[in-house]
């Protein structure tokens, strides 16, 4: 995909599969809701979550967004880089509000401040981006 296609794909994706490294080196993989800040996906998580603990110890982070129902429609973007963990309550709340605008049903009564108080935000700073789009493959018969 071109840079513009990657940006459009990530802007429209619903779920980001996020991988961190556990204390024993095992991969911890979870699906997260996210928003984009430029080329960086941003999500929030409980401050005491396994992924937050993993990132405090080792900031390396990989993520995958994918789509497609058949081989000829498969496409995706893999991002590899480092995480910036944000614990400033006001910034975490703003990110929560962005998530709430994208995903219906996030928070209760539109008040995300209680939820934000227990969370940190994570910004993936990509060092490498890999993409694919099987819709561009030539069909052979």
Quick check: is 35 in a domain? yes
Q: What is the pTM of this model?
A: 0.91
Q: Quick one: pLDDT at residue 113?
A: 86
- Residue 139 is assigned to a structural domain of this protein: no
pLDDT tens across 12-21, in order?
999 999 999 9
113 in a structural domain: yes
R_g of the chain, CA atoms, integer Å: 16
Average of pLDDT values for 32-44? Answer: 97
For residues 85 and 56, what is the distance between their CA atoms, to the nearest angstrom? 8
Question: For residue range 48-77, what is the model confidence (pLDDT) as tens digits?
Answer: 999 999 999 999 999 999 999 999 999 999
Q: What is the pLDDT of residue 115?
A: 86
Has residue 103 been placed in a domain?
yes
| Residue 114: per-residue pLDDT | 86
The DSSP element (H or E) to which 40 belongs, if any, is strand 40-46
The mean pLDDT of 35-56, rounded to a whole number, is 97
Q: Given this model, what pLDDT does residue 55 score?
A: 98
The per-residue pLDDT of the chain, averaged, comes to 93
At residue 140, the pLDDT reads: 57
Number of structural domains (the chain) is 1
Residue 138 lies in a domain: no
49 in any annotated domain: yes
Looking up residue 82, the CATH number of its domain turns out to be: 2.30.110.10
Complete DSSP assignment for 64-98: EEEE-SSGGG-EEEEEEEEEEEE--HHHHHHHHHH
Taking residues 6-34, what's their average pLDDT?
97
Whether 28 is in a domain gets the answer yes
Q: What is the domain extent for residue 78? A: 3-133
48-52, 106-110, 117-121: which has the minimum mean pLDDT?
Answer: 106-110
* Percent of the chain that is helix, strand, coil (3-state, to 5): 30, 40, 30
In contact, 22 and 50? CB cutoff 8 Å:
yes
């Amino acid at each position: 995909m071109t840079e513009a296609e990657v940006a459009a794909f990530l802007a429209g994706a619903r779920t980001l599969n996020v991988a961190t490294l556990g204390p024993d080196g095992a991969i911890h993989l979870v699906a997260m809701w996210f928003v984009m800040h430029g080329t960086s996906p941003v999500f929030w998580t409980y401050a005491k979550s396994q992924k937050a603990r993993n990132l405090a110890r080792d900031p390396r982070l990989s993520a995958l967004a994918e789509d497609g129902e058949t081989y000829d429609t498969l496409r995706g973007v893999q991002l590899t880089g480092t995480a910036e963990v944000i614990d400033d309550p006001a910034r975490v709340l703003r990110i929560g509000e962005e998530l709430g605008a994208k995903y219906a049903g996030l928070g209760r009564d539109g008040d995300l401040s209680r939820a934000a108080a227990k969370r940190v935000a994570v910004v993936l700073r990509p060092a490498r981006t890999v993409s694919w789009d099987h819709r561009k493959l030539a069909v052979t018969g």
